[in-house]
Amino acid sequence: MKVALVLVGHIRTLQSNWGHFKKIIDKHSCDVYIETWEKYGFWKDAVDSTTFTSANDKGFDEESDLINEQKIRKLTNPVYLNIDNFDDYNKFFNDESLKFEDKKWHFLRPKNLLTQWYKRNKIMNVINESGIEYDKVILTRPDLRISSEINLNEDKLQVSSNYSPNGYGDVLFIGTLNQINDLVDLNNNFENINSKLEGHATLRWWIKEKGISHKTVFQQLELFNTPGGYCKI
């Protein structure tokens, strides 16, 4: 079975999480693909907790260090690694996110959702253009620790039920190449959304709208989007 492990998003805590990914890679002989940004980009809250006003429009700590490409390559031995500069995209995503101001849910940033699915769609285009026919694709993010066993025998798209208060979890997907391609096509369909733009609810809407055969699975996951753990400043 030909398997791709696809890591998309800020590198963040990849190095400390790598042992978890390495177990998956060794067991399933995965090819590693990484689509990331130039800074570690640790999570930062969108809202000042004392004033409840906007504190950060990017969704990550702009003062975090630049990643070291050679260290990442040495650690992960990727088939493909792409590093984009966020500032090259910032104006574009700012302009795009303005289209969804009337749909955004509370203080959530539409730009975060747009950038997330843009990068997922981008890396899947690279995989498709490679001509490699992967039987399964594990699509996740560098700051996630996966402790549960990965099931590659399920015919349906597996969607995590973790971190999903309003819909489906958006941190880990396991499916066929076609299923993952259908999933990331959300990137091209945001303007068709009639409800509030919120990551979990939007994901659930899209999977059902696209008619992707799927099942939700609770997995042993820990999201470390800061060095101290989940959403710690």
Q: Locate tokens 């955004």: which residue?
A: 104
Which tokens sit at 13? 């805590």
Tell me what pLDDT residue 41 has: 76
- Residues 6 or more apart from 72 whose CB is under 8 A from it? 11, 14, 34, 78, 81
Determine the Cα–Cα distance for residues 185 and 173; give it in Å rounded to an integer: 14
Q: Identify which of 86, 79, 88, 83 has the alpha carbon closest to the alpha carbon of residue 69.
A: 83
Q: Could you give all domains of the chain from N- to C-terminal order, each with its CATH number?
A: 3-223 (3.90.550)
Tell me what pLDDT residue 196 has: 79
Length of the chain: 233
Strand partners, 32: 5
The per-residue pLDDT for range 83-117, each reduced to its tens digit, is 999 999 999 998 998 888 877 776 567 888 899 99
pLDDT band at 51 (very low <50, low <70, confident <90, very high): very low
pTM (global) more than 0.85: yes
The per-residue pLDDT for range 4-21, each reduced to its tens digit, is 999 999 998 899 899 999
Which tokens sit at 232? 């710690």
Determine the Cα–Cα distance for residues 192 and 189; give it in Å rounded to an integer: 5
Q: Is the pLDDT of residue 139 over 90?
A: yes
